Every structure is written in C-alpha cells, then in structure tokens.
Structure 1
Amino acid sequence: MANRSYLYSTNVIPGPNAKDNGRKLIGISEWNYYIPIVFKLLLSSNPKTCPSSVWENQEEIALVGNYASGVKNLETFLSKITVTPAQPLIAEALEFLNRPENKSEYFVLECGEIFDMGDSPLQEQNLTLLAQIKDLQPEIDLALQSLLPPPAEPPKPVSFFARLLGRTPELPKQEYDPMQSIYSLGLGNWSNILYFDFTNA
C-alpha cells in the first residue's frame, strides 16, 4: 500500500463525538508519498490539530482548517501561475472545490501514513507540519520558482581543432516542460473516492 496524504471536507471537526454530531467526511484528494503545497494551502486558514478519523490514535495527528478561506488562499496562489499548461488543471481544481456537494465547513488533512515513514512520533511530526502551514510563504516562493524555465546556459567555447576544421559543436536542445512541476503542486488528482472512504460511515 502506498503511503499517502488524504484530504477531506467535513461539517464537523473530528473528535470523539464527531459521529454523534452528524459528521460527514467527503473525499477531496489523495497524494502518494508526500504532502503537496495545494493541500497545505487549503488547510492554511485557521489550522489546528485534531484527532484522526483514519488512524486509531488517541493523539491529535490530523489537521483541520476553514474550507471557504482555504479555497481563497489557494485561488490567490494559483492566480500567480501564468504558465499556459497549468491553466486547465487550475480550472479543474477550482471547479471541483467549488462544487456544492464538495463544499463544507472544514478541510481535514490526514498524513499519518506519511508520518509513519519517519522516525519521530506522529504527533510531533503533525505539529511540525502545522508550523509549516502557518508559515507557508517560503514554500510558496519555491513552488512558483519551480515553474519558471531554467536560465539559458552560456555557449560552450569551441576548441582550437574544431575551429581549425570548421566544425561547430551540436548542443542537444532541451525543451522546457513544466508539467512535472505543475503536477507536483498537488493538482490533477481530485476525487470523492479515496482509499479511506467514509461515504457510508
């Protein structure tokens, strides 16, 4: 099983009495092996720790944040991305997140499987993640920088013998393809059906 981070929307903050209070968890997205910046941005409005709805753990190893403001924070970030290939994925993300059936009061981020790959206690890693989400600007700057084309390399000097023989070296052309960086933001994987499904819970 791949270690994933899971993103849900919910009407009730997870806790011991969440089910009794009519909790409804809606799958939003999941990501293999790390926590993409899109997930962090969606959790960035008034984030706080909460109990996990996935793991049977008494400690608070999940995070919860405001849904509507989280989407606004993501929109602000996405508006700064001008590369053409990203625009369909941006439109898809905003359309999915603004569907009435997906909207709720809160986002919940479950990263227990990601934390489990580390050596530190799960709750300690969750607190570290919370601190990162509260200070996302450095990661935002790096993410936007990753979408820019690499700087052009200066031409290599032609050797004496190449000049003597009238030869010019043929440099391999490297086409700029930002798609890998675009997908790594956490775009393009929206679904209500996640590995841990709470549809009938």
Structure 2
Amino acid sequence: MANRSYLYSADSMPNEAEIPQRIRCISEHNWDIPLAHKLMVGRGTTIVPSMIWNPPIGIAADYAEGAILLRGLLRAVGKGLEEEAEFTECVARTTAHLEKQQAKYFLLETGEIVSMTGDDPAASVRRLAYEDIPDTVAKAEAAIAGQNDDWLASVRADWQQHFASFYSEALYYSFPN
C-alpha cells in the first residue's frame, strides 16, 4: 500500500470535539505531499486535529485563496507547456474538480506521509505548516510575478510530480455525508 497525502474541503475546521459535517474529497497523492497540495493549504494555514489519526497533524487553510494561488501557478507553468496536451488536460480536470468540490476550507491529512520519517509527527507537521509551506508559497508567488524563473523551470520540467495527483469524489479515506 502506498502512503498518501489526502486533501479534502469542508465548510468548517475539525476540532477536538468533532469533524466537519460535510467533507468533500479533493485529491490524494502517493508517497509525498505534492506542490499542488502545499499551495492549496498555503493561505491562512493552521494546524488542526486530524480527521483520520489521533495526533493534531491535520492542516487547514482558506479554500478560495489556496485555489487562486494554485491556478496562478498553473497559468505560469502552462506558459512553457502550451503544446503539452497532457498538461492542459490535467489543469482542466483539476480546476473543474476544485470548482465542484468548493467549500470554505481545504483540509490536508498528512499522517501517512509524516509517519514515513520516524520523526515526531506533530513536529513534522509544524515544520511543514510553518516553514515548508510558507517557503513554497513564497517561491510560487515570485514565479507568478516573473521573479523566479529557475524555480519555475524546474517545476515545469517535472510538472507531473507536482500537479498530476488523483482527483476524485472518493478517496481511499472518504467520509459519509
């Protein structure tokens, strides 16, 4: 079985007492937390209780702002991939799914990924939420503004790893509505 990061949306954040009423599936990605997931939880990022595991290793963020950030980077990446039909299809599927599953918050479940390192999961999520994700957002913002061409070229060269995750209404961990 692959370890995955899971991305959901909901109109409220999980808390110690309960998980949100309606959780929509967005995406899952094998063996890593991809760039796209990091960008989607890159605005208003906060650590929340996991909806799947016991430690507080979930990450919540503003849905609308995260989606705007991702779409901006996809446009910048696409400027070098105009002839790449697979990229164009990936962007169309991703953006259509994000529109359909829209809510107030993105909810990123990190448990399977942070457990692979052997480090303390809560400490790993703090580093992810408050160091790695803000650094990634800053690089993306600079690239969108035309100020980080080398980073943008590296993302463009490996776009499948960054953006071609599994987007679906049903993930390995889905929640009844």
Instruction: State whether residues 28 and 165 of structure 2, in contact with CA within 8 Å, keep that contact through their aligned partners in structure 1.
Output: no
State how far apart, in whole Å, the 2-side matches of 1:49 and 1:123 are: 9
Alignment of 1:1-201 (within 5 A): 1-19=1-19, 23-57=21-55, 60-81=56-77, 82=79, 83-84=81-82, 85=84, 86-99=87-100, 102-130=101-129, 131-136=131-136, 137-138=138-139, 144-147=152-155, 181-200=158-177
Q: What is the TM-score normalised by the length of structure 2? A: 0.84
For 1:134, the aligned partner's letter is: P
Shift of 1:138: 3.8
Quickly say closer, same or farther: Cα 1:145–1:110, change in 2 above 3 A. Answer: same
Quickly say closer, same or farther: Cα 1:188–1:30, change in 2 above 3 A. Answer: closer
State how far apart, in whole Å, the 2-side matches of 1:96 and 1:195 are: 17
State how far apart, in whole Å, the 2-side matches of 1:190 and 1:34 are: 15
Shift of 1:56: 2.4
Query: Aligned pair count?
Result: 163
Q: Which runs of 5+ in 2 are unaligned?
A: none
Quickly say closer, same or farther: Cα 1:15–1:87, change in 2 above 3 A. Answer: same
Residues 84-128 of structure 1: per-residue CA shift (max 9 Å, x gap): 3222211221111012xx111100000110011112100000011
Quickly say closer, same or farther: Cα 1:144–1:76, change in 2 above 3 A. Answer: same
Q: Which runs of 5+ in 1 are unaligned?
A: 149-177
Q: CA RMSD of the aligned region, Å? A: 1.8
Residues 7-32 of structure 1: per-residue CA shift (max 9 Å, x gap): 0001110112334xx52111111011
Identity score, percent: 29
Q: Which moved more, 1:138-147 or 1:127-136?
A: 138-147
For 2:15, the aligned partner's letter is: G
Quickly say closer, same or farther: Cα 1:50–1:116, change in 2 above 3 A. Answer: same
**Which of structures 1 and 2 has the bigger CA Rg?**
1
Instruction: State whether residues 155 and 162 of structure 2, in contact with CA within 8 Å, keep that contact through their aligned partners in structure 1.
Output: no
Secondary structure at the aligned position of 1:71 is classed as: helix
For 1:92, the aligned partner's letter is: R
Q: Which moved more, 1:66-75 or 1:9-18?
A: 9-18
State how far apart, in whole Å, the 2-side matches of 1:75 and 1:8 are: 17
Secondary structure at the aligned position of 2:94 is classed as: helix
State how far apart, in whole Å, the 2-side matches of 1:195 and 1:78 are: 26
State how far apart, in whole Å, the 2-side matches of 1:90 and 1:77 are: 11
Instruction: State whether residues 38 and 133 of structure 2, in contact with CA within 8 Å, keep that contact through their aligned partners in structure 1.
Output: yes
